[in-house]
Amino acid sequence: MTKQFTLAELASHIGAELRGEGSTQISGVNTLKDAGRSEVSFLANASYRSQLAQTQAAAVIVNPDAAADVSGAALVLANPYLGFAQVTQLFDNRPPVSPGIHPTAVIADTAEIGSNVSIGAHAVVGEHCQIGDDCEIGPGTVINAHCVLGQGCLLNANVTLCHDVVLGERVRIQSGAVIGGDGFGFAPDNGRWHRIAQLGGVRIGSDVEIGVNTCIDRGALGDTVIGNNVILDNLIQIGHNVQIGDGTAMAACTGVAGSTTIGKHCTIAGAVGIAGHLQLCDGVHIAAMALISKSITEPGAYASGTAQMPMQEWRRSATRFRQLDSIAKRLQQLEKGQKGKS
């Protein structure tokens, strides 16, 4: 828990130029405001630059421009936020897991388990699964038949992989996430719904992050596909046969309906709704709680909805919203009258 590194070690780890005493011992990382004398801090957002003067941090990770304002030691590199991220990984305090397979875990005879794998209490690994080297599978996690995990995947406690889910390398899945549930496909007939068996699977790239209680449904025909380095927050719904391009980020509570394709390097904010069978091109940014119901062919930022208001004022605007078509037509009437006169 009490890891220690020298400043020189930190500088070397993040590839920064060290200005100051390399032998200084560092025991943690913190914000400029809260850092103590044995902690390193960082300046990633220029609006906090004034805090450089007061910080008690033993050293600050900064870019070359801001380095001049640092009175103490500095770790100087082009992208201080990246440097900060790399330092947090050094100080990661996640308790170590025991290597090996817990005696209460249930592993199918036909499953292939790589080397240096940890499988927690009451976990289940189904028939014909392949678990790559260095994977960690948490307690209570269920991996159904025919799943493949690449090297170095981490599934926390109580995750579920349904059958025929394929993960690349270093995929991290938080607790409660379910990958490969049945897509929502039903044929109506005479007032009744008839289930369409979901025959596809889920394919997930490498370096993907999947948040708590997030759902990724299996494909109906063909697979649901998540690209490399996609990062998904908590409580996200990904419908069947959705495709998400490399490097796209999606914040919590967002839902993507079936068969929609999202491009690369998009950022989708929280609680966004994206309808089915759409195409979103690369480089699209969607604002929080927007509804996207048409395809997007131009990179850029999109939004819908209205902004917060005190309730009484909102009620008046909302009432007028219902009259908007009449308002617009009456305005046209007046304009015509005006024109007639001029």
Catalytic residue positions, numbered? 240
DSSP 8-state assignment for residue 65: T
DSSP 8-state assignment for residue 294: S
Contacting residue, 19, 113, 140, 151, with a copy of itself by CB under 8 A? 140
115 vs 122, beta carbon nearer a copy of itself: 122
Q: Work out how close the CB of 67 gets to a copy of itself at its nearest, in angstroms, rounded to a whole number.
A: 19
Site mask, a copy of itself, residues 261-300, x = CB under 8 A? ----x----xx-x-x---------x-xxxxxxxx-x-x-x
Q: Work out how close the CB of 172 gets to a copy of itself at its nearest, in angstroms, rounded to a whole number.
A: 8
Q: Work out how close the CB of 339 gets to a copy of itself at its nearest, in angstroms, rounded to a whole number.
A: 10
* Residue whose pair of structure tokens reads 């390097």 in the numeric block: 265
- Long-range contacts, stretch 76-79, CB < 8 angstroms, 24+ apart: 76/16, 76/17, 76/18, 76/19, 77/14, 77/15, 77/16, 77/17
68 vs 185, beta carbon nearer a copy of itself: 185
Q: What is the full DSSP assignment across 163-227?
A: SSEEE-SS-EE-TT-EEEEPP--EEEETTEEEE------EEE-SS-EE-TT-EEEPPSSS-EEE-
Q: Work out how close the CB of 2 gets to a copy of itself at its nearest, in angstroms, rounded to a whole number.
A: 13
85 is an interface residue for a copy of itself by CB under 8 A: yes
Q: Work out how close the CB of 136 gets to a copy of itself at its nearest, in angstroms, rounded to a whole number.
A: 12
338 is an interface residue for a copy of itself by CB under 8 A: yes
CB atoms within 10 A of CB 284: 22
User: What is the phi/psi pair of residue 41, to 5°?
Assistant: -130, -170
163 is an interface residue for a copy of itself by CB under 8 A: yes
Kind of pairing, strands 25-26 and 28-29? unpaired
**Measuring CA to CA, which residue among 31, 79, 83 is closest to residue 55?**
31
126 is an interface residue for a copy of itself by CB under 8 A: yes
327 is an interface residue for a copy of itself by CB under 8 A: yes
21 vs 320, beta carbon nearer a copy of itself: 320
Which tokens go with 109?
A: 């005879």
- Asked if residues 195 and 185 have their Cβ atoms less than 8 Å apart, the reply is yes
69 vs 207, beta carbon nearer a copy of itself: 207
Site mask, a copy of itself, residues 211-250, x = CB under 8 A? xxx-x-x--xxx------x-x-xxx-x-x-------x-x-
